[in-house]
Structure 1
Amino acid sequence: MNHLRLTKLSAVIGLTIFSSTAFAGPQNFSSARSFAMGGTGVATAHPAEAAAANPAMMAANQNDWSDDFGLILPSVNARVADEQKVVDQVDDIQSVIDRFDQQVAAFNPATDNPDNIKSTAADLRDRLVAFDQDKMRANLGLGLALSAPSQALAVGAFTNATLVTTIEGELSGQDRTLLDDIANASSAADAQTAIDAATDSNGNLNLTSKGKVLAAAKAEVGLSFARQFELQNGANLQVGVSPKYVQLKTFQYTETVSGFEDNNFDSDNNTTDKSGFNLDLGTAYTFGESQQWNLGVVARNLIPMELDSAASRPDLGEKVRTLELNPTVTAGIAHTGDFHVLTAELDLTKNKAFGFEDDTQWLALGAELDAWRYAQLRFGVRQNLASNDNNDGIEEKTQFTAGFGLNLMGVRLDLAGLYSKADVGAALELGTSF
């Protein structure tokens, strides 16, 4: 196998992760503030981020500096889980294959010692064994929003996009046997016989081990409307709705490491898509002597949607997978003071995984310390209640988050980071509010 083939394998991984950011995955989009506070926001969202968290919050009581207009332009976040360093493994395998091809081209069984070829074959075998069932996952998100908050009638517009890409390696028993035969050859003649069985007519390795890429995407654009109702007990009830247009997309690509020269990873045969209208509904209930408590509930994607993936390579074991966009419900409670926000949030429904990843159902805690509206320090932690040892991919369990915000002359900058045993992530957001 030549250098070009695995170069294109790396290209498949890179392009799948980085070129599809115009679409959003089944996971909900998160603003940088929410990202820093453990993914919370149902009971704490500012007006500009309310469309993603809870549209009812556009009509909630807001600070003077954010109760007339809000803008996010843009908000970007990313998470990567790659404990086994899958992309690095691909590069290392590529280097070993190049070395093996060079050694085979120069090998003369009548005069040469086969030890170097045997050693390289053993090295390649061991790397492919290590690559087997290793996985990586990348989550990306991009959002834009604007809002005109009002207790009488709040109006907003938004578009957001997230993507989840998962990659898995799979070793074939045939490759292991062929490389074992070369590595264990007792003579130069036996080594040549084993090499002939493992290579094509050009002398390049003919491997059947494969790489599998699965990606799920969802993009949405819509409007948000909210209104506040004053109740007799002095509490306030906010109700919000977000009608939106949703596009789903799946990508499935499976190929042997010897077959990536076809360069067909972006063909229509690997992609499916579906579009339709959907709806989010949110409520928030504000109570307490100084309206310091807020209880929020949001139901997203009330119209179920399904999309089957392409399975263009059944000869390589590809199966049709179904991307499900089902209704989800999240509830949260928050306590707000002059210099702090404390919140807790729970997904009441489970989000089913599509690729080589974990199901998710988050229980989250978040906190924000506010210095006179000019600077904010944020922390969060969340636990995945749906994580299990029998999942088909990388587990997502406990995640820790932190971040800060700066508000200078109406311009807002928010930065956030995330860390867990499997994941690292970051978020950046620019915006304004007044």
Structure 2
Amino acid sequence: MFFQQIRTQIFLTAAGLTALTLSSNAIAIPFNAVDARSMAMGGTGTASAYPGAAPVFNPALLSHFDKDERAEIIVPNIGVTAFADPGAIDAFQDIDDENYIGNITTAIDNINAGDNFSSNRDIFIDNSLGLTRSLVDLSNKPFNFSGGVLFSAAIPDSNFGWAVYSTTDAIVETTPIISACDKTLLAKYAALASEWDSPSDIQPNVEITCPAGRRIQITDANAMLIDPKHDLSSSVFLAGVGISELGFSMAHAFETDAFRISIGFTPKAVFLKTYFSRPTVQELDDPNFDIGESLRSTTNTKSDFNLDAGLALDFFEDRSLTVGIVAKYLLPKSYRTATFRTAFGDVSTKFNLNTQTRVAVAWKGPLGITLASDIDLTRNAGYFTGIDTQYAGVGVEFDVVNILRIRTGFRGNLLDEGDAAATIGLGFNIVDVVHIDFGGQIGENNAGFATQLAINF
């Protein structure tokens, strides 16, 4: 069906675009890194990350570890997440379940053939109004996909802890843009049909005017009904960005009688590759239209420089309580995609890399227990059409005799109650050298998975 094809195209293209950006030759990670341990512990890490992940959570942690903390290499960490607006899920499900488009087409064919006029007129009206309601619910509801890869080598030390890392993060944001004309067309068509008591009531060459002044013919010269799906002008907004970083993190700790404070910095090269497309529903329905080619034709690349900074304060004699704060992208930047040519003119979009800050606390307790909590201090806008986020998360880890690590937690978006997830994961320590970690998150409207292979020496 027509809108089923749109939904399928959204998911297939987003998956392909994620793979495309991840395979680019640049290397980075977004603020909410898809680290396997972090994902399993509610997205925490600013005060609790291990050395290998410290560069992407808080570089100050490289000088906060105990003296016996060993170097760590991550080779690699891979994670993916997805979010769909709850209203969009319900609207798509309603369109699928009710088969509005198919019923409208069948009813029009039957009316034009003179079969059971009253019954098919009612079917047409009911399905047109039902589709209109679903389109209203579907309009401008985002679908977000992301995937990340991290490589790092870290040597923690209180005097000079350091790490080199490279990450690639692909973000895809896609949104159905349902035009006001489509909703008006269906509503007016249904209202007009309610006035017909017999085929003789249908007038030839009837037109409907949309809010923007566009005129659409709904009957031909022979008073035959024209299927409205051919005049739908809705489109799909699809934009993606591969944000890649190559960075060097460094940290130093200062000891006092009351606490230890670690300060860390990460100068980094940032590489960006953007894609943008906004095909109409007719283009998506055209077998000759290649969405992949339309995206490749709008590829835009950019390189830049940025800086992260962080603090970590360790309290108590055993330094078991840590408070961390980090600021990423201290140099805010704005970027614009290449243009995409449409029947209505050339269009493009922009996105910002704004400074993001997060504060956290972690406690290492007895019996191998670690408790952690992170919260964003800034409201972080979606890159294109994605929802704004301000995450808060809590997590716990239980280290069973340094062999098995059991983790769980919860992450929620303070700006959107529908964006919440329970998290869980496991970590395996093999001969105290090789670490394999798995993490997952699941919510009513989102899901994610991450895995990591790390080596200590």
Q: Does the 8 Å contact 1:406/1:413 carry over to 2?
A: yes
Distance 2:202 2:258 in 1: 86
Distance 2:385 2:29 in 1: 14
- Which residues of 2 match residues 312-327 of structure 1 at below 5 A? 322-327=350-355
**Displacement of 1:192 after TM fit?**
7.6
Q: Does 1:175 align with 2:204?
A: no
Q: Does the 8 Å contact 2:167/2:244 carry over to 1?
A: yes
RMSD: 3.7
**Displacement of 1:153 after TM fit?**
3.9
Q: Where does residue 9 of structure 1 map in the other structure? A: 6
**What TM-score does the superposition give when structure 2 sets the normalisation length?**
0.77
- For residue 20 of structure 1, give the secondary structure of its aligned residue in structure 2: helix
CA offsets 1:58-77 (integer angstroms, 9 cap, x no match): 3332596x622221423213
Q: Where does residue 71 of structure 1 map in the other structure? A: 74
Q: Where does residue 144 of structure 2 map in the other structure? A: 138
Q: Does 1:19 align with 2:16?
A: yes
CA offsets 1:337-391 (integer angstroms, 9 cap, x no match): 3411112323222212344443222333222222122222223334444x2xxxx
CA offsets 1:299-331 (integer angstroms, 9 cap, x no match): 101111112456758987998654121112212
Q: Does the 8 Å contact 1:74/1:144 carry over to 2?
A: yes
- For residue 289 of structure 1, give the secondary structure of its aligned residue in structure 2: coil
**Displacement of 1:217 after TM fit?**
2.8
Match for residue 51 of structure 1 among 29, 32, 55: 55
**What TM-score does the superposition give when structure 1 sets the normalisation length?**
0.81
CA offsets 1:154-186 (integer angstroms, 9 cap, x no match): 222221304142424535312321244346532
Q: Where does residue 213 of structure 2 map in the other structure? A: none
Distance 2:361 2:192 in 1: 63
Change (3 A) 1:172 1:25: farther
**Displacement of 1:41 after TM fit?**
0.5
Q: Does the 8 Å contact 2:47/2:362 carry over to 1?
A: yes
Distance 1:318 1:114 in 2: 45
**Displacement of 1:278 after TM fit?**
1.5
- For residue 185 of structure 1, give the secondary structure of its aligned residue in structure 2: coil
Q: Where does residue 241 of structure 1 map in the other structure? A: 265
Change (3 A) 1:130 1:27: farther
- Which residues of 2 match residues 270-419 of structure 1 at below 5 A? 274-308=302-336, 322-338=350-366, 339-385=368-414, 387=415, 396=418, 399-409=421-431, 410-419=434-443
**Displacement of 1:146 after TM fit?**
2.0
Distance 1:96 1:348 in 2: 45
- Which residues of 2 match residues 191-206 of structure 1 at below 5 A? 193=204, 197-198=217-218, 204=227, 205-206=229-230
Q: Does the 8 Å contact 1:218/1:246 carry over to 2?
A: no
Distance 1:369 1:400 in 2: 17
- For residue 376 of structure 1, give the secondary structure of its aligned residue in structure 2: strand
Q: Does the 8 Å contact 2:251/2:265 carry over to 1?
A: no
Q: Does the 8 Å contact 2:41/2:410 carry over to 1?
A: yes
Distance 1:427 1:63 in 2: 32
Q: Does the 8 Å contact 1:360/1:396 carry over to 2?
A: no
For structure 1, which runs of at least 5 residues remain unmatched after alignment?
Answer: 388-393
Distance 2:352 2:193 in 1: 46
**Displacement of 1:214 after TM fit?**
4.8
Distance 1:7 1:137 in 2: 15
Percentage of pairs with the same residue: 24
Larger deviation, residues 342-351 vs 251-260 = 251-260
What is the letter of the counterpart of residue 160 of structure 1?
T
Distance 1:164 1:305 in 2: 19
Distance 2:120 2:67 in 1: 71
**Displacement of 1:44 after TM fit?**
0.4
Distance 1:270 1:182 in 2: 43
- Which residues of 2 match residues 112-261 of structure 1 at below 5 A? 113=117, 115-116=119-120, 118-134=122-138, 135-151=141-157, 152-170=160-178, 171-182=182-193, 185-190=196-201, 193=204, 197-198=217-218, 204=227, 205-208=229-232, 210-215=234-239, 217-233=241-257, 235-248=259-272, 253-254=277-278, 256-261=280-285
Change (3 A) 1:264 1:122: farther
- For residue 19 of structure 1, give the secondary structure of its aligned residue in structure 2: helix
**Displacement of 1:79 after TM fit?**
2.9
Q: Does the 8 Å contact 1:280/1:298 carry over to 2?
A: yes
**Displacement of 1:225 after TM fit?**
2.5
CA offsets 1:382-429 (integer angstroms, 9 cap, x no match): 4444x2xxxxxx66565443333233342413122232xx53312221
